[in-house]
Amino acid sequence: MLFSGLIVISVLAIGYLGVNSVQTVGERAQRISAQALRTQAEEYLRRVTVGDTQRHDLILREVEHNAENVARYASGIFAQPEAFAGEAYWRASDHMSTGPDGQYANDETDVSSVFIPNFVDIDQELLADLELGAYLEFALIPTYDSDPNTVAIYLGTEHETTRYYP
């Protein structure tokens, strides 16, 4: 009986040590795999973030390039108005009218939209500004069409005019 008791105690001790070892190994494996998954997730997120940043940087550089081109084109038009004197491409008197709230706006059928708030006096200088601005359509259309990230192009002038495309 004593011998049987020793065997039972030995089996129980070995069983306890075995279960304890399995439990310890399981916990350790869980910690190691959790750390490995965390490291993989961090690396994946880092790669995705860097890739997104690079794509956004390219988009913003393209936007900057387009803005510089339109600004250069606009500067050329407004710096040399005499080059566009004579027969106007777009005459304000043919396209502009006073809206219900006193604002001055063009027809909806025009290529680009023009808006002058109701607090601005309409004078010859402003009308000349509008007519020169119409020449921007030759730059706005291809710029807009060539870049799927461009949703609109706006141009404001010192005469409180706003032209936007589309």
Which one, of 164, 157, 4, 11, lies nearest residue 77 by Cα? 157
What is the b/e burial string over 93-125, where b = at least 16 CB atoms within 10 angstroms of the residue's CB?
eebbeeeeeeebbbeeebebbbbbeeeeeeeee
- Count the neighbouring beta carbons within 10 Å of the beta carbon of residue 41: 10
pLDDT of residue 88: 73
Question: Please, are residues 73 and 136 in contact by the beta-carbon 8 Å criterion?
Answer: yes
The three-point CA angle 141-142-148 to 5° equals 95
pLDDT in tens, the chain (166 residues): 666 776 777 777 777 777 777 788 788 888 888 898 999 999 999 999 999 999 999 999 999 999 999 999 999 998 998 888 777 788 888 998 888 888 888 888 888 899 899 898 889 989 888 999 899 999 999 999 998 888 899 888 888 888 988 8
Q: HSE, CB side, 13 Å, CA atoms: give it for residue 163.
A: 24
pLDDT of amino acid 31: 87
What is the model's pTM? 0.68
Please report the pLDDT score of residue 160 as a whole number: 87
Question: Which pLDDT does position 47 carry in this prediction?
Answer: 94
Q: What is the pLDDT of residue 4?
A: 73
pLDDT digits (tens, 9 = 90+) for 6-43: 677 777 777 777 777 778 878 888 888 889 899 999 99
Please report the beta strands in 15-150, taking only residues with DSSP state E, as ranges in sequence order: 96-98, 104-106, 113-116
The pLDDT value given to residue 2: 67
Domain of residue 127: give its range.
Answer: 2-165
User: What is the count of structural domains for the chain?
Assistant: 1
